[in-house]
């Protein structure tokens, strides 16, 4: 049984049902997330792009103006924001080796094709799979490396797991390498709530795609009309949680798992966790992973932060 099937069985038989948002990112899920990044309510993508537009040259300067650089892009997606930096670094005369990492091979295929067309001077080495598996394939080198984890993806880890993830990334890097971390900042709760509960229903379609994937790959008979997308933000903890809420009592069968799952009316499936940080919190989690903060970069409205750090000797 593959990891997706194992996860679905574990999550849907737990006392409090859950499914990991990481499994939403099949080809369809990745396409829907590209739509989310263009939503008027979804400020994080625009804010981070503005950070790179404003500070791309300064970021390169803080890397020491390398003549040759490896760029490891963790969770690359469509690479829109990364391209801003790649194009600038290349324009400044840096030879680049680009290692986009993503769970979706199809997304990597599309990204690689687009990068080769737009920036043919860049060498591309796609890494498909989970973070853990793909990082294990990342080759060591004496060349300087910039690892990037953008888009506030760190906030998707449950408490404590964000630090464990950074420790795993740290082990794949060498002392003196660099790490660029993008995080969403705490702000007006109403602004955050709208970003995860848009009027067009794209966020709902994104999370419901997980049930569609179970139907397609595991022979499930989920009726999406029985579920409602329900996001809740807690301003005290800075945590946004998204649920799929069963609107009535019903039974779901998953043939591929030989499993029947009972849902009570208003029972939840927890599908997404997104933590919002403070600048102090970012520095702390980097230091705990043995990385030294060099500089924080933020957009003019202070909605989003990209922290550049260096791996300790």
pLDDT of residue 159: 80
Identify whether residues 57 and 12 lie together within a single domain. no
CA distances from 42 to 9, 36, 37 (A): 32, 7, 6
Identify whether residues 127 and 138 lie together within a single domain. yes
Residue 98 belongs to a domain with what CATH number?
Answer: 3.40.50.150
Structure tokens at 222: 């989920």
3-state secondary structure of 99: strand
> Residue 31: which pLDDT band, with cuts at 50, 70 and 90?
confident
pLDDT of residue 107: 85
Contact predicate 145/69, CB 8 Å: yes
> Residue 94: which pLDDT band, with cuts at 50, 70 and 90?
very high
Identify whether residues 259 and 282 lie together within a single domain. no
pLDDT of residue 120: 96
CA dist 44 and 22 (Å) reads 18
> Residue 313: which pLDDT band, with cuts at 50, 70 and 90?
confident
Identify whether residues 70 and 132 lie together within a single domain. yes
pLDDT higher than 60, residue 1: no
Query: What contacts 5, CB < 8 A, 6 or more positions away?
Result: 217, 218, 256, 257
Identify whether residues 79 and 171 lie together within a single domain. yes
- Maximum C-alpha span of the chain: 62
Q: Supply the mean pLDDT for the chain.
A: 94
Q: pLDDT by residue (tens digit) across 143-170?
A: 999 999 999 999 998 888 899 999 999 9
Structure tokens at 274: 């997104």
> Residue 27: which pLDDT band, with cuts at 50, 70 and 90?
confident
Identify whether residues 49 and 135 lie together within a single domain. yes
When comparing pLDDT for 39 and 30, which is higher? 39
Contact predicate 189/226, CB 8 Å: no
The total domain count for the chain is: 2
Identify whether residues 148 and 179 lie together within a single domain. yes
Beta bridge partners of 68: 95
Beta bridge partners of 184: 304
165-186 burial string, b = 16+ CB within 10 Å, else e? bbeebbebbeeebbbbbbbbbe
Mean pLDDT of 86-100: 97
Mean pLDDT of 182-199: 95
pLDDT of residue 88: 97
Structure tokens at 272: 């997404």
Identify whether residues 67 and 176 lie together within a single domain. yes
Identify whether residues 53 and 94 lie together within a single domain. yes
pLDDT of residue 37: 86
pLDDT of residue 65: 96
Q: pLDDT by residue (tens digit) across 97-147?
A: 999 999 888 889 999 999 999 999 999 999 998 899 889 889 999 999 999
pTM of the model: 0.88
Mean pLDDT of 193-212: 94
Residue 226 DSSP symbol? G
Residue 304 DSSP symbol? E
Mean pLDDT of 194-221: 95
Q: Which helix (H) or strand (E) holds 61?
A: helix 43-62
Q: What is the DSSP string of 106-143?
A: HHHHHHHHHHHHH-TTSEE--EES-HHHHHHHSPP-SS
> Residue 58: which pLDDT band, with cuts at 50, 70 and 90?
very high
Compute the Cα dihedral for 105, 106, 109, 115 and give only its sign. negative
Identify whether residues 58 and 126 lie together within a single domain. yes
Identify whether residues 18 and 122 lie together within a single domain. no
How many other CB atoms are found less than 10 A from the CB of residue 197? Answer: 18
> Residue 190: which pLDDT band, with cuts at 50, 70 and 90?
very high
Helix H, strand E, coil C: the string for 161-202 is HHHHHHHHHHHHCCCCCEEEEEEEECCCHHHHHHHHCCCCCH
Structure tokens at 71: 């760029």
CA dist 132 and 122 (Å) reads 25
Identify whether residues 140 and 73 lie together within a single domain. yes
The boundaries of the domain holding residue 295 are 43-187+277-311
CA dist 88 and 84 (Å) reads 6
Q: pLDDT by residue (tens digit) across 262-295?
A: 999 999 999 999 999 999 999 999 999 999 999 9
pLDDT of residue 284: 95
Mean pLDDT of 237-247: 96
């Amino acid at each position: 049984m593959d990891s997706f099937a194992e996860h679905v069985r574990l999550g849907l038989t737990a006392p409090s049902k859950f499914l990991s948002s990481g499994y939403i990112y099949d080809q369809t899920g990745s396409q829907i997330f590209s739509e989310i990044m263009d939503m008027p309510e979804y400020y994080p993508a625009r804010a981070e792009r503005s950070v790179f537009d404003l500070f791309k040259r300064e970021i390169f300067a803080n890397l020491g103006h390398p003549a040759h650089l490896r760029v490891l892009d963790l969770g690359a997606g469509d690479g829109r924001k990364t391209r801003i930096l790649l194009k600038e670094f290349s324009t400044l005369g840096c030879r680049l080796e680009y290692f986009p990492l993503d769970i979706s091979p199809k997304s990597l295929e599309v990204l690689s094709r687009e990068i080769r067309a737009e920036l043919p001077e860049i060498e591309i080495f796609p890494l498909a799979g989970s973070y853990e598996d793909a990082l294990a394939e990342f080759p060591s080198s004496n060349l300087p490396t910039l690892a990037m984890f953008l888009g506030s993806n760190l906030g998707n880890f449950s408490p404590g797991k964000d630090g464990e993830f950074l420790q795993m990334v740290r082990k794949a890097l060498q002392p003196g390498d660099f790490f660029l971390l993008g995080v969403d900042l705490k702000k007006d709760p109403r602004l955050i709530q709208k970003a995860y509960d848009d009027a067009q229903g794209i966020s709902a379609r994104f999370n419901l795609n997980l049930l569609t994937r179970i139907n397609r790959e595991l022979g499930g008979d989920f009726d999406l009309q029985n579920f409602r997308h329900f996001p809740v933000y807690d301003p005290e903890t800075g945590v946004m949680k998204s649920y799929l809420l069963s609107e009535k009592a019903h039974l779901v069968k998953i043939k591929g798992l030989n499993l029947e799952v009972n849902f009570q009316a208003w029972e939840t499936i927890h599908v997404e966790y997104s933590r919002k940080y403070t600048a102090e919190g970012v520095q702390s989690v980097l230091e705990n992973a043995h990385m030294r903060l060099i500089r924080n970069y933020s957009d003019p409205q202070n909605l989003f932060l990209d922290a550049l750090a260096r791996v300790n000797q």
